[in-house]
Amino acid sequence: MKKVVLSGMRPTGRLHLGNYFGALENWVALQDEYECNFFVADWHAFTTGYSDTKGLAETSREMVVDWISSGLDPVRCTMFVQSAVKEHAELCLLLSMITPLSWLTRCPTYKDVLAQMKDREIATHGFLGYPCLQAADILMYNADFVPVGEDQLPHLELSREIARRFNHIYGDTFKEPQALLTEAKVLAGTDGRKMSKSYDNTIMLSDSPDEVKKKVMTMITDPARIRKDDPGHPEVCSVFSLHKILGSVQELEGDCRSGKIGCVQCKRNLADKLCERVAPIYNKRCELAKKPEIVMDVLAEGTRRATEKAQKMMGVVREAMHIIELDM
């Protein structure tokens, strides 16, 4: 039996290179080694974005288009919609009954996000209790591993603590999920800041080759470099940081520091590399755009499989908690 992996993404629509190199590329690589379950975390989107959900269905679909285009295979993994598996809500409710309030208020991002989003009213029951929903997502499928970066370890540890407490009260029911540490790949956007839609500095997986090249040519490079033959400082250059993610840069670094290559040529080289790397994704995306029913069929089948697993697990949970079962 393969070990089980579980991960999800909030539906933010079309994905950019930061999403791909930061998480999606790793998901694709895990499919053959593990039993992978990847879900659209649309209920999690309500924790901070409940006031405007008009585009939620479309952003969910667009995100999954990028998943499939990037190489997630519905034969080798299960892709599903969180909100369509109602058992997640039931398990979240039951876990919330045993989770101490102090565990939720000490969650690392709780106070940080409250401070960052002062323009929104997010001091809600749902936002405070989202770790219970997160734990339900993971424990529902008895996940052995959750792929995370080091910054997410405290969140996973809270899910482990909730599982441990449930097992202590009701008997051995859940596995304690382990972290599958992934290398943190934070991409710089076109303006030098972290690539993010909120900064409008992204290169999207859905961008055409011409759009990719245009965006790359606007990228900020070494601000201290005036002429093309001036010595460069690649450690402060956004273009160089993308080159590093795409492959070996030892020769490029030497050429930059010696002034052998100018910033314009360096950008052109990067644009060519990026276009070559994402061409299969872009082409697959164009094909799926002509057949949108394929994505919905993938999600329907994946959600059916996920529901079967969830129903089986909830039977075990209800029995452990001595909840009456009725034949109806």
Are 88 and 231 members of one domain? no
Do 147 and 249 belong together in one domain? no
Q: Which of 30, 16, 112 is nearest to 76 (CA)?
A: 30
Q: What is the pLDDT along the chain (328 residues), one digit of tens a residue?
A: 899 999 999 998 999 999 999 999 999 999 999 999 999 999 999 988 899 999 999 999 999 999 999 999 999 999 999 999 999 999 999 999 999 999 998 887 777 787 777 778 888 899 999 999 999 999 999 999 999 988 889 899 999 999 999 999 999 999 999 999 987 778 899 999 999 998 999 999 999 999 999 999 999 998 888 888 888 899 999 999 999 999 889 999 999 999 999 999 999 999 999 999 999 999 999 999 899 999 999 999 999 999 999 999 999 999 999 999 988 8
**pLDDT at residue 182 in the model:** 83
Cα dihedral across residues 96, 98, 102, 108: positive or negative: negative
| Amino acid at residue number 131 | P
What is the structure's pLDDT at 145?
A: 98
DSSP 286-304: HHHHH-HHHHHHHHHHHHH
Which CATH number does the domain housing residue 30 bear? 3.40.50.620
Q: Which pLDDT value is given to residue 281?
A: 97
What are the structure tokens assigned to 202, written together? 């992204």
Q: Are residues 125 and 252 in the same domain?
A: no
63 burial type by CB count under 10 A (0-12 exposed, 13-18 middle, 19+ buried): buried
Backbone conformation region of residue 71, classed left if phi is above 0, alpha if psi is from -120 to 50, else beta: left
Residue 134 lies in a domain: yes
Mark whether 249 and 134 lie in a shared domain.
no
Domain of residue 230, residue span: 197-287
Residue 222, pLDDT score: 87
Together in a domain, 180 and 279: no
Cα 96 to Cα 115: distance, rounded to the nearest angstrom: 24
* Both structure tokens of 210: 């011409």
**DSSP-derived 3-state class of residue 36:** strand
pLDDT at 173: 98
Does the residue 44 lie in any domain?
yes
Give the pLDDT score at 190.
Answer: 94
DSSP 188: B
In this structure, the answer to whether residues 156 and 179 fall within a common structural domain is: yes
Q: Given this model, what pLDDT does residue 274 score?
A: 95
Longest dimension (CA), the chain: 80
In a shared domain, residues 203 and 170: no
Same domain flag for 71 and 106: yes
